[in-house]
Structure 1
Amino acid sequence: MKIVQVDKPGPPSALELVEVPIPEPGPGEVLVRAHSIGVGYPDLRIRAGIYPWMPPLPAIPGTELSGVVERIGEGVTLVRPGQLALLSARERTHRGGHYAEYVAAPQEATFLLPEGMNLEQAAALANYQVAYHMIYDSMRPLPGQVALVYGAAGGIGNAVIDLLKGLGVRVLGVASNSERARWATTFGADEVIDRTNGNIVGQVAALTDERGVDWVVTPAAGPTIPGNIELLAPAGTLVIYSTMGGAAKNDLWEVLWPSRSAAVRLFNIHTWDDLVEERRAGMRALIAMLAEGRIRPHIHRRFKLSQAREAHELLEQGEVTGKILLQP
């Protein structure tokens, strides 16, 4: 079978297509034949050798994979060949491991999918896993509240908007240009602010009758914190879920004290690394939502497994809407 691995960390050219034997499922393991493999930002960091949860070299990137159970190992009772399955690197000690035509995984770490499920959309659920715990466990918004979502046309933005709309939240998206604003509307945003059209503060004020928003959801920290706090309604919350922009250089006391009782929440998906049952329950809830048509992961583009370099180059350009997939 073919895998994509990194022998020496570096740019996309560090990704090598390698032929290796198909693994045999050991006791308690399930062998899954890949249909679709998600490409995400953790993969870029694994390739660059800078991911804190880095697998040992030579490293195989890949956070999630959907496919069909090919074989089962001794003692497996919960899974049978022919079933549809989703594998997630969050169920592994090290991240990665899914840029491969076949992957063996423990049966308890294998999420079974309903017959007929869209395997491409299932391979995009890692973004939704981040959004699910951020929204359902960290934010817990109320129907009728208003959320401003930065990066509204990206993979996480797609997931955040989808889940917020399902809870009855009014969503204002922020996009970097008119084309990405159009995509954010497609994802379900009620209104979208195109950053090229001028002042975000003024546009938010106009869209909320000067009240502001209850939630600002953003991957950016650092120097953007004071400006985002200005966008909040009374008792509103700024939610930061990544480290774009670097660490905060501000004295948050000086920023928050003059505000309208604002709060800042730092969300980290790795909080759930040790909360195994909560994490798996969240993924099962997302699978049910997908099966019922309540969420709509968007696939931006599909590449062959052999085109992993091109997929990484595209993701690094920052213009992806939704999810990139690799397919054997």
Structure 2
Amino acid sequence: MRAIYYDRQGPAHDVLAVGDLPAPVAGTGEVLVRVYRSGINPSDVKNRTGFVSKMPFDRIIPHQDGAGVIESVGAGVSPDRLGQRVWVYEAQYGRAGGTAAEYVAVPSANAIALPDATSFDVGASLGVPAMTAHRCLFADGDLRGRRVMVHGGAGAVGSAAVQLAKWGGAWVVATVRRPEQMEVVRRAGADLVLNLRQGDVAVDVKAGTDGAGVDHIVDVDVVANGELDLACLANGGAISAYSVGDRDATVPVPVLPFMLVNGAVRFVYVYTMPTSAKQAAVKDITSCLTAGAYRPEIGLILPLDRTADGHDAVERGAAQGKVLIAVMDA
């Protein structure tokens, strides 16, 4: 099979190679998926650079997210799954082979049926962004009638959070840093879009919530936004942080101000979410897709042999939306 792989960590154009590798075989409890689209996430970039950990395998086919068709099933998996269109999550977590290849073998539970009207492009845009967003939003229960703030609303996780929060019945304010991102977030469904570099965001958030503030904050950079988050937080509210740019970053917590608003800070790492949280995310993401309420922004689609360019785009934040690799013609 054609695949992208690396056997050492470093810059994308230095270490990512394309070539022919043996196709995997579905083991017990697994399915073999013919990959049509592979999604690139910041965590894929961090794995390739060594930000998260050193090489756990001698050779790695990257990417956790993807979409395709089940070609074969291993022992213990119903043959009824053959030919099923699926989206895949955590394909490369704890394994050497991800979705940047024509075939990937994953546990059957990690290959989720795609609704008939959902494209492979959308399917490959789920996984890490949608499941991260779901945990940030729903860890504390129902969102109906709640107020949600999403930082980085034009990013993959941010856009997913806006759409899932609206599907869940919340009022949503989202922030951006560039004017051109505002329309992207409006298309995602945000009720209010604010530029972090213009005006007084906390004042605008309080005005938009009749002075109450927001119940949930989904934050891509809690180190930079901590003071603002506290100023926007409603009594009993929670901040969910899911990303960090510095391995040694710390978040100083002003204990008394947080205590006075009964506030909470949660850190979310999608790969180690409790199994029950992943199952709940899959269920709700499927319902959101079926309702036609999830329409991710696709920023860039590249052929397999340009995967390194895709990694560069994600690393630089150059693409407005999800970056996908077209492994095969859909």
TM range (shorter): 0.7 to 0.9
**Structure 2 counterpart of 1:213:** 214
Q: What are the ranges of 5 or more consecutive residues in structure 2 without an aligned counterpart?
A: none
Bigger mean CA offset, 164-173 vs 79-88: 79-88
- In the TM superposition, residue 217 of structure 1 has moved relative to its aligned partner by 1.8
Task: Name the Cα RMSD after superposition.
Answer: 2.6
**Structure 1 counterpart of 2:285:** 286
Q: Distance in 2 between matches of 1:163 and 1:190?
A: 13
**Structure 2 counterpart of 1:43:** 44
- In the TM superposition, residue 142 of structure 1 has moved relative to its aligned partner by 3.8
Q: Distance in 2 between matches of 1:236 and 1:32?
A: 41
Q: Deviations over 1:302-323 (max 9, x none)?
A: 1111111110111112243331
- In the TM superposition, residue 123 of structure 1 has moved relative to its aligned partner by 1.1
Bigger mean CA offset, 122-131 vs 99-108: 99-108
Say if 1:222 and 1:244, in contact at 8 Å, map to a contact too: no
- In the TM superposition, residue 244 of structure 1 has moved relative to its aligned partner by 4.0
Change (3 A) 1:35 1:163: same
Say if 2:86 and 2:123, in contact at 8 Å, map to a contact too: no
**Structure 1 counterpart of 2:231:** 230
**Structure 1 counterpart of 2:3:** 3
Counterpart amino acid of 2:249? Answer: A
**Structure 1 counterpart of 2:82:** 81
Q: Deviations over 1:9-33 (max 9, x none)?
A: 1111121112113334345542211
Over 6 Å off, 4+ runs: none
Say if 1:31 and 1:70, in contact at 8 Å, map to a contact too: yes
Given the alignment, which residue of 242, 247, 250 partners 1:248? 250
Q: What are the ranges of 5 or more consecutive residues in structure 1 without an aligned counterpart?
A: none
Q: Deviations over 1:68-99 (max 9, x none)?
A: 12233455424443221222226853476221
Bigger mean CA offset, 210-219 vs 59-68: 210-219
Say if 1:30 and 1:105, in contact at 8 Å, map to a contact too: yes
Q: Distance in 1 between matches of 2:233 and 2:280?
A: 32
Change (3 A) 1:79 1:52: farther
Counting aligned pairs with the same residue, the percent is 29
Say if 1:223 and 1:249, in contact at 8 Å, map to a contact too: no
Q: Distance in 2 between matches of 1:320 and 1:262?
A: 34
TM-score by structure 1 length? Answer: 0.88
- In the TM superposition, residue 59 of structure 1 has moved relative to its aligned partner by 1.4
Change (3 A) 1:226 1:16: same
Say if 2:147 and 2:216, in contact at 8 Å, map to a contact too: yes
- Which secondary structure state, in structure 1, belongs to the residue aligned with residue 186 of structure 2? helix
Say if 1:5 and 1:16, in contact at 8 Å, map to a contact too: yes
Say if 2:137 and 2:218, in contact at 8 Å, map to a contact too: no
Taking the TM superposition and a 5 Å limit, the aligned residue runs for 1:143-222 are: 143-222=144-223
Change (3 A) 1:73 1:96: closer
Q: Distance in 2 between matches of 1:230 and 1:88?
A: 35
Q: Deviations over 1:97-122 (max 9, x none)?
A: 22111112343443233445311111
- In the TM superposition, residue 131 of structure 1 has moved relative to its aligned partner by 1.3
**Structure 2 counterpart of 1:303:** 302
Taking the TM superposition and a 5 Å limit, the aligned residue runs for 1:3-82 are: 3-13=3-13, 14-52=15-53, 55-73=56-74, 76-82=77-83
- In the TM superposition, residue 169 of structure 1 has moved relative to its aligned partner by 1.2
TM-score by structure 2 length? Answer: 0.87
Say if 2:60 and 2:96, in contact at 8 Å, map to a contact too: no
- Which secondary structure state, in structure 2, belongs to the residue aligned with residue 243 of structure 1? coil
Counterpart amino acid of 2:134? Answer: Y
Change (3 A) 1:212 1:108: closer
Q: Deviations over 1:47-73 (max 9, x none)?
A: 112324964131111011211122334
Instruction: Verify: 1:129 aligned to 2:131, yes or no.
Output: yes
Say if 2:64 and 2:93, in contact at 8 Å, map to a contact too: no
Task: State how many pairs are aligned.
Answer: 324
Say if 1:28 and 1:74, in contact at 8 Å, map to a contact too: yes
- Which secondary structure state, in structure 2, belongs to the residue aligned with residue 229 of structure 1? helix
Q: Distance in 2 between matches of 1:295 and 1:36?
A: 17
- Which secondary structure state, in structure 1, belongs to the residue aligned with residue 175 of structure 2? strand
- Which secondary structure state, in structure 1, belongs to the residue aligned with residue 243 of structure 2? strand
